[in-house]
């Protein structure tokens, strides 16, 4: 597995200069782009707004599961100025990458896309662009606010090794989405979150599967609160160590500039004179997380993310060679039941002392397979929607599942302090929104079940069956 490294630092002024490339005839789209060709189109903006781009492309001979051929990188310029980079993580598979281009004044603009050999893994040689479709979100629309304040992220490079461009093969940002909420004063808060293909630091891989039901990394980036006139009341971002700090960095129009600054994908604001990393991402934030679903729901609605997640695990050697649900190590992710459920805990104790695990019984098998692998503090401690996974024997299908149950798991966070696990808890399980396995292509299958009701876990009754096969 490649370790986290950082490309040579470039100043912001250099990054914002134009990228020298050989131009082709305006409006043409070459079928194949080598390092000396560029695809170009013009588009007309009739009313000022935020521009969006859907770029459909393939990359010859690369794939996210292939060492040194993980992706190819396209560099975009708008009106001759560097705009961003797109990592073609889907490789040879035709895929539409959705990005933002920023605020555009009325008039005719020129968009150019070029294969960037320097920013690509060594095995990438060329790309094929099938289509570039631009749209404008008018500043007069309510929806425009989510686009107007979306952050621009410089890619991760952790050791300043020249030309490494770490996200072209590891922890690539895949999707940005947003949430909206209003307070009693009518102030609107927009929060932006990114899904990366993995995290090289932070929670270890087996615990990720148990506590979060995935090996992707999902991190909130930036949170802005606006008054009724859409003036900024406050703006925060997630700093290293999962801190929440005031944003005090540079912007392009209203788009805050940040860079991914830790191996577990936290962020630092770009300030005047701050070295940045030579490549950046400006993802389309249009997708919105429903209020009653866990963050992993955004993976369910973009099922291709499961494929990229699994391919990175395989390529980086993070899976045990002989699948065994009795061990804590992660096996092939097609061996897992992915579950999302909803719960509340009383008294509300955050992460202190009481969690919930999901157990699965198979037909004709006396074993109970549990999400936390019998590690108490790998249980789910957060309330409201949460996701987890249960590892099952290799080759298990959903038809073999006999029952699904929830279990209360008291545990001692710190045996050296006087605080003991609670003895008077009540956990209310309210919903199971989905329970699926991945198919042979690592895509989610149809959910085995959906359950809505009430089951209460207490010290006297710490287990409850949520579903039984008919």
Peptide bond into 313 cis (omega under 30): no
N-term to C-term CA, the chain: 45
Q: How far apart are CA 182 and CA 291, in angstroms?
A: 12
Q: How far apart are CA 210 and CA 388, in angstroms?
A: 5
Residue 375, both tokens: 């590690």
Q: How far apart are CA 96 and CA 91, in angstroms?
A: 11
Q: How far apart are CA 331 and CA 317, in angstroms?
A: 11
Q: What is the 3-class SS of 301-338, one letter each residue?
A: CCCHHHHHHHHHHHHCCCCCCCCCCCCCCCCCHHHEEE
Query: Among candidates 88, 106, 85, 107, which has minimal Cα distance to 97?
Result: 88
pLDDT at 156: 96
Domain 12-300 class in CATH: mainly beta
Query: Among candidates 363, 354, 372, 339, which has minimal Cα distance to 451?
Result: 339
pLDDT at 203: 86
Residue 72, both tokens: 């190819």
Q: CB-based burial of residue 44 (10 Å sphere; 0-12 exposed, 13-18 middle, 19+ buried)? A: exposed
Q: What is the pTM of this model?
A: 0.90
pLDDT at 348: 62
Contact 265, 7 (CB under 8 A): no
Running DSSP on this structure, what letter comes out for residue 4?
Answer: P
Residue 401, both tokens: 């599942």
Q: How far apart are CA 223 and CA 227, in angstroms?
A: 14
Residue 267, both tokens: 């962020």
Residue 178, both tokens: 């947003």
Contact 188, 303 (CB under 8 A): no
H or E segment to which residue 111 belongs: strand 107-115
Domain chopping of the chain, boundaries? 12-300, 325-468
Architecture of domain 325-468: Sandwich (2.60)
Tens of each residue's pLDDT in the chain, 470 residues: 444 333 333 333 223 332 222 222 223 344 465 555 678 999 999 999 999 999 999 999 999 999 999 999 999 999 999 999 999 999 999 999 999 999 999 999 999 999 999 999 999 999 999 999 999 998 766 678 999 999 999 999 997 776 789 999 999 999 999 999 999 999 999 999 999 999 999 889 999 999 999 999 999 999 999 999 999 999 999 999 999 999 999 999 999 999 999 999 999 999 999 889 999 999 999 999 998 899 999 999 999 999 999 999 999 999 999 999 999 999 999 999 999 999 999 876 554 689 999 999 999 999 999 999 999 989 999 999 999 999 999 999 999 999 999 999 988 766 666 667 778 899 999 999 999 999 999 999 999 998 999 999 999 999 999 999 98
Residue 60, both tokens: 């010859």
Q: CB-based burial of residue 410 (10 Å sphere; 0-12 exposed, 13-18 middle, 19+ buried)? A: middle
Dihedral sign, Cα of residue 171, residue 173, residue 179, residue 185: positive
Q: How far apart are CA 22 and CA 29, in angstroms?
A: 14
Beta bridge partner(s), residue 14: none
Contact 381, 354 (CB under 8 A): yes
pLDDT at 2: 43
Contact 48, 103 (CB under 8 A): yes
């Amino acid at each position: 597995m490649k370790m986290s490294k950082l490309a040579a630092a470039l100043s912001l002024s250099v990054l914002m200069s134009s990228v020298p490339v050989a131009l082709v005839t305006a409006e043409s789209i070459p079928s194949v782009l080598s390092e000396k060709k560029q695809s170009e189109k013009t588009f007309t903006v009739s009313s000022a707004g935020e521009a969006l781009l859907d770029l459909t492309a393939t990359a010859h001979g690369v794939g996210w599961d292939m060492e040194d051929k993980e992706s190819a990188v396209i560099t975009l310029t708008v009106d001759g100025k560097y705009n961003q980079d797109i990592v073609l993580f889907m490789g040879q598979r035709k895929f539409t990458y959705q990005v933002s281009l920023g605020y555009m004044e009325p008039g005719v603009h020129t968009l150019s896309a070029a294969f960037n050999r320097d920013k690509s893994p060594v095995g990438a040689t060329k790309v094929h662009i099938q289509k570039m479709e631009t749209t404008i979100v008018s500043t007069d629309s309510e929806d425009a606010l989510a686009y107007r304040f979306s952050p621009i992220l410089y890619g991760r490079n952790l050791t300043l090794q020249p030309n490494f461009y770490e996200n072209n093969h590891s922890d690539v940002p895949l999707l940005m989405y947003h949430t909206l909420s209003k307070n009693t004063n009518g102030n609107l808060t927009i929060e932006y979150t990114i899904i990366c293909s993995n995290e090289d630091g932070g929670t270890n891989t087996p615990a990720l599967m148990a506590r979060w039901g995935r090996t992707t990394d999902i991190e909130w980036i930036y949170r802005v609160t606006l008054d009724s006139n859409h003036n900024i009341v406050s703006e925060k971002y997630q700093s290293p160590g999962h801190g929440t700090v005031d944003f005090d960095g540079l912007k392009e129009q209203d788009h805050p500039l940040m860079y991914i600054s830790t191996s577990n994908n936290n962020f630092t604001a770009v300030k005047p004179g701050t070295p940045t990393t030579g490549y950046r991402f400006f993802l389309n934030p249009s997708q919105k997380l429903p209020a009653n679903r866990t963050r992993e729901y955004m993976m369910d609605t973009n099922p291709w993310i499961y494929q990229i997640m699994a391919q990175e695990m395989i390529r980086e050697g993070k899976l045990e060679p002989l699948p065994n649900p009795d061990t804590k190590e992660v096996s092939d992710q097609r061996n897992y039941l992915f579950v999302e459920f909803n719960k509340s805990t009383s008294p509300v104790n955050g992460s202190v002392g009481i969690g919930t695990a999901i157990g699965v019984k198979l037909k004709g098998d006396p074993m109970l397979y549990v999400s936390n692998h019998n590690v108490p503090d790998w249980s789910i401690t957060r309330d409201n929607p949460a996701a987890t996974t249960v590892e099952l024997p290799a080759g298990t299908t959903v038809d073999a599942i006999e029952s699904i149950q929830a279990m209360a798991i008291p545990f001692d966070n710190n045996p050296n302090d006087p605080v003991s696990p609670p003895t008077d808890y009540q956990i209310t399980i309210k919903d199971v929104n989905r329970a699926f396995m991945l198919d042979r292509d690592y895509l989610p299958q149809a959910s085995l079940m959906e359950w809505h009701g009430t089951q209460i876990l207490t010290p006297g009754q710490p287990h409850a069956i949520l579903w039984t096969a008919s």
